[in-house]
Amino acid sequence: MGESLKITQSKNGHDKDFTQVILRHWREAVPNDRMAHLVKDATRALVRALQMRLTEHCVSFGHWAFLRVLWETDGLTQRELSVQVGVMEPTTFSALKSMEKLGLIERKRVPHHKKKVFIHLTRKGKLLKRTLVPLAIEATNVALQGVPPQDIATTRRTLLIIIENLARDERESQNKLRRIRSTRELAGLIESAGKRS
């Protein structure tokens, strides 16, 4: 990526011309680069668009990911939330601790599951849905401006096939080295490799 992806900072610390730099990179520097990089940059641009809108309501993008799941299925365990959001449990723990301080969630134990703690939205957390979901729809609508409906449908089908293919690859992988490792486990492997070299 080198010099072509250098992004200047404005006086208030925000990235200037972020989108133009990314577009120039894809159109001029690496027009045939891997699909994974293009998907990552599109995701990053969508996340930034949503983050700008969420911060107006003092909600981080990390909290948004958990709120979305809880709005659909309230009362999950920390582990279930981690799986549904796609993050490691320590990340979930930190996010939930912060969300609890903000009064968005509460932890509850139930009599027949004394060891498990279930995460429930508070009234404040539930009410945020009315404010935040329209912001996500707005960001998506901005992203899809000028894209014909048939192209949107094709893109959705293609991305779902990509997700399905990669999920199958992960399930079928018998090689233990290919599994997702925790940050701590990965750090230990890197340290061991450094000592051997």
- 71 occurs within a structural domain: no
Name which residue leads in pLDDT, 27 or 99. Answer: 99
**Neighbouring-strand partners of residue 118:** 77, 108
Fill in the amino acid letter for 63: H
Calculate mean pLDDT across residues 57-79.
94
- 157 occurs within a structural domain: yes
Element holding 109 (H helix, E strand): strand 105-110
- As for how many domains the chain has, the answer is 1
Q: Is the pLDDT confidence value at 76 over 50?
A: yes
- 194 occurs within a structural domain: yes
Read off the pLDDT of residues 124-178 as tens digits, 9 standing for 90 and up. 999 999 999 999 999 999 999 999 999 999 999 999 999 999 888 888 876 656 6
- 45 occurs within a structural domain: no
- Of 95, 19, 26, which Cα lies nearest the Cα of 64? 95
- 2 occurs within a structural domain: no
Q: Is the pLDDT confidence value at 100 over 80?
A: yes
How far apart CA 115 and CA 107 sit, in angstroms, is 12
- 142 occurs within a structural domain: no
- 76 occurs within a structural domain: no
- 152 occurs within a structural domain: yes
Fill in the amino acid letter for 174: Q
pTM as predicted:
0.69
Hey, what's the torsion of the CAs at 63, 155, 144, 149, to 10 degrees?
A: -130
Query: Which tokens sit at 197?
Result: 């070299």
Domain extent, residue 188, equals 148-197
The confidence score (pLDDT) of residue 2 equals 40
Element holding 116 (H helix, E strand): strand 113-121
